[in-house]
Structure 1
Amino acid sequence: MNSLSDLNNSRLHPHIPKHFFTVIVICFGLLVLSVIASLVLGSRPVSFNELIAGLFHQNADSYGASVVRKRISRTVFSLFCGAALGISGALMQAVTRNPIADPSILGVNTGASLFVVSGIAFLNINTAYQYIWFALAGAMITAVFVFGIGSMGRGGATPLKLVLAGAATSAALSSLVIAIMIPRSYVMDQFRFWQVGSVGAANWSSISTFIPFLIIGILLGIISTTALNALALGDEVAKGLGVRTGILRLVAALAAVLLCGATTALAGPIGFIGLLSTHLIRLILGPDLRYIIPMSAFAGAIILTISDVCGRLIGSPGELEVGVVTAFIGAPILIILARKAKVSSL
């Protein structure tokens, strides 16, 4: 009884994790290193002098400085996308109480992809702003559908049922995406590079389009953290503490869908970032979402940026899209997590 009481108190009145400030310093250091690596490394390595010239607009005509300036927007975009996916994964895991929930696993990314390719094929959309709204619509509808299917039957929305519903939905929607693209070669040309997930086409226009959705999603996620801590104790306990569980799930899910939908619209369906970053932070700092959610943003930004750098180095003189790199890393980790957790709820 005492241990249960201690667990409840740790959820409702959490203390600062033991290694929290150490983790912040390490994450900040890794973030700086990943940014430098993203600016310097690639098919064309950049020297220190060229890096300084590119950052401070010196020797504007030099090739090295122009490479750095191009990589600045790409680096900023990868940081933002990684942070958005990290928070989205943390929120999805908290809302569904599913330790392996992730936008790619629950089919949300695929739903966004279907709506984007449908917009390209039937409505001739071709701007980042249009992509975002179509992707958000697809992500929201898919999230509601998967949760509805996973909630049917005895026991409600269990982790296993949600994963199975997400996998089945993702497979069905992927087939529809292929069916739309095959007879339309122009759609396939426009869609094929976007589909694997890449931050290589980033520019300041797409970043400025992305920022409002990022800010709204982060604010909604942060506002929900305390109530989500109570939700982790179970719906009945949360209701007893005055938490409106239905509204809470709606707000937190909306934040998660905004973040992953906007990211998918501009960078493609990059998978496993939310899963990797959230599990890493939870392993170090414990279950308190007040720390997991913001630190998952740091971890997601670092993981995605480093993955992008690895893709450039592996594929040199071309590049390997970051979605391929994250899938290569994330798939084995997902299998390990599923075996250890036995798909149990949080």
Structure 2
Amino acid sequence: MKVYLVGGAVRDQLLGIADEFTEKDWMVVGSSSKQMLDLGYRQVGKNFPVFLHPGTQEEYALARLERKIGTGYKGFKFDISSQVTLEQDLFRRDLTINAMAQKAGELFDPFNGQEDLNNGILRHVSNAFSEDPVRILRIARFAARFKKFGFKVAHQTHQLMSQMVTSGEVDALTPERVFKELNKALSYETPSAFFKVLTACGAYQKVFSSLDNQVHQNHSNSFVFLDNLNTDKAHIKFSIWLKDENRHNIKALCNIIKCPKQYQQLSELVSQFYQFSQDFTNHSSNEVFDFFAKTDILRHKDRFEDLLSTFKLLEIDIVPIEHLRDLLKDINISKLDKSDIAKAIQIEKRLIIDLFFKTVKK
């Protein structure tokens, strides 16, 4: 029984970006499920045994082979025989930079992952890459994560990804996995590479088929506006990505990929009021009243603040919106007519908005 550190932890260590929070994956060669249980490990995997270390609770997986028997990333049969070697396990992995192992400081790199790491190349290990459509999303996500290091997709890998799209393999992607990889990509500083890679191989048009893809096909660098935004909130970046889409397309997409309501609601509001906010003080008081009613500033304060943050990231002057927001929030309800308080609040809001516009348009 031999234990190796594998995958992302090895890669990130060689890149010099590993830290105490880097998730560690361990691979066990020459063992069995029974032996792992006898040693006190707790089994958590069903399709292929993964075990939690009795002390650290880190994941230890038995070395395995896999054979494609169906569509999608679940269509595999696994062999976890104790005869499976280190190289056989690494061979089934997606990219060469993820197919390295380490034991007691010694690096095992049968597929030249370190060379590709040094050259900034995202390259598939073998043609088995094409058997799992999730790998298209993963390679696009790695392109986003490592864009700052200048990583590019190898030409042969790009060709293989395009073939997977053409063959229909990409159609087997599950909504949950699409959102998971998308959300991770949006958490990085430079998510534009995620969308560019998907667009280049034709997967963007397939995976996000409900969107108006012409918006992005007409511009070679159309996703750069998502890079280096001063926010770590993925749902805000999500809404900025979709700012030029109509609400119907956004709703359809969110239903397909099953994203949280927070993402859908903010994206729909940004889409609806992005253009409106750019010329805020030139609208009528009735239009502005309608804006505050539809954004529901009083009942959804956090969402409204996210909306303003999104506008600000889009370089829109939000000062007049903030000023009116503060005035509306400070309405003294105790001084209003209690016989029909809802109507009295609406009247007071209109008076505040009317007075605001009389002031700014003098």
Q: Same fold (TM over 0.5)?
A: no
TM-score by length of 2: 0.20
Q: Which has the larger radius of gyration?
A: 2
Scaled by the length of structure 1, the TM-score of the pair is 0.21
Structure number with higher strand proportion: 2
More helix per residue: 1
Higher RCO (Cα < 8 Å, 6 or more apart)? 1
